[in-house]
Amino acid sequence: MPLIKKKSKVSDEIPTSSMADIAFLLLIFFLVTTIFDRDQGLQVVLPEREDAEVDVPPDNLLFLLVQPNGSIVVRRGESPQTQTITHRQVQGVVRQALQANPEVIAAVQTHPEARYEDMTNVLDGIQLAGARRFVLQQLQE
Amino acid sequence: MAIEHGGFKRKSKIANEIPTSSMADIAFLLLIFFMITTVFRKEQQRPVEFPDAEAMQTVDERRSNIMNIWVEPDGQVFINDQLTPPGQVTPIARQAYIDTDRRLVVSIRGDRDVPYNVINQITEELRDAGALRVNFYTDLEQRVTRARR
């Protein structure tokens, strides 16, 4: 055994004073990087069951018939004329119809075999066009 | 320099600083308290690809008042991790509607490729239950995904 005591100036303890700071930095890092799953989407209020059928003048109806292949057939009121468009044109068509007649109601009638996304695309276009009144229905054959 | 305080030095033994050494401990205690009291919604994530939309909004309702209905690509409907056959949505939605004091928002988390009749079935059953506030869950449409489609 050596008689001379070792006089090291290096502390033999782990510095603990900054541990809290390190822990807080980690905490803040995880707080910032966490993405919460927010509930977002297209909001709709369904019609009540007891609602009496409201008679809407056919001129105020804009039918958007969503086909199984994703195309949309537009029919205005009772006019026999139809027009086939893609979902990107929905916004323009609805906006035009609203300018011509602010009372217009967009009636989305979706084919049972059509994809869900085709319906949400049309709904998206309607909401982007600023239409407040619309109906969601299943296309009857 | 002039003599301060009339020549008498204040000899107070009370430190005039707020003790900061225990602040971290207090903060950690608070943190642990909130961690323990937070209740997370334990719901399994499902393999669902949501449709995209531009006009989407965030649901302005408390989390406990939102009920999720998951619709998988094969048309299977799940509520609270339970496979729900058609016709069984109404009683669950009605109970949730009562439990949330009529403030229920139903968030339909459907896959983009699911046939529409599945969704229509759900909305009709929700109408039967009186739960009329519905949210069609969508992702924000990005220009890149739009070009890809």
CATH code at position B128: 3.30.420.270
Put simply, the answer to whether B113 touches A117 (Cβ < 8 Å) is: yes
Residue B105's contacts (CB-CB under 8 Å, 6 or more residues apart) are: A39, B59, B61, B65, B66, B67, B133, B134, B135
Torsion of CA B116, B119, B124, B129, to 10 degrees: 180
Is residue B81 a part of any domain in this protein? yes
User: Does residue A17 surpass a pLDDT of 80?
Assistant: no
Is residue B27 a part of any domain in this protein? no
Is residue B21 a part of any domain in this protein? no
Two tokens at B63? 């989390």
Which residues constitute the domain of residue B131?
A: 52-148
Put simply, the answer to whether B114 touches A40 (Cβ < 8 Å) is: no
- On whether any CB of chain A is under 8 Å from the CB of B62, the answer is no
Of residues B90 and A2, which shows the higher confidence score?
B90
Residue B6's pLDDT band, with cuts at 50, 70 and 90, is low
User: According to the model, what pLDDT value does residue A123 have?
Assistant: 93
Put simply, the answer to whether B136 touches A38 (Cβ < 8 Å) is: no
Q: Which helix (H) or strand (E) holds B126?
A: helix B116-129
Is residue B58 a part of any domain in this protein? yes
Is residue B102 a part of any domain in this protein? yes
Contacts of B143-148 with C-beta under 8 Å, sequence gap 24+, read B145/B52, B146/B52
Residue B147's pLDDT band, with cuts at 50, 70 and 90, is very low
Number of domain units in chain B: 1
Q: Tell which phi-psi region holds residue B81, choosing left (phi > 0), alpha (psi between -120 and 50) or beta.
A: left
- On whether any CB of chain A is under 8 Å from the CB of B116, the answer is yes
Is residue B122 a part of any domain in this protein? yes
Residue B5's pLDDT band, with cuts at 50, 70 and 90, is low
Is residue B39 a part of any domain in this protein? no
User: According to the model, what pLDDT value does residue B4 have?
Assistant: 61
User: According to the model, what pLDDT value does residue B93 have?
Assistant: 93
Q: Which helix (H) or strand (E) holds A106?
A: strand A105-110
Closest partner residue to A115 (CB to CB) among B61, B113, B132 is: B113
Give the CA count within 13 Å in the CB-facing half-sphere of A20: 12
User: According to the model, what pLDDT value does residue A23 have?
Assistant: 84
Is residue B94 a part of any domain in this protein? yes
Measured between beta carbons, the chain B residues lying within 8 angstroms of A42 are 53, 55-57, 135-136, 138
Closest partner residue to B24 (CB to CB) among A20, A47, A128 is: A20
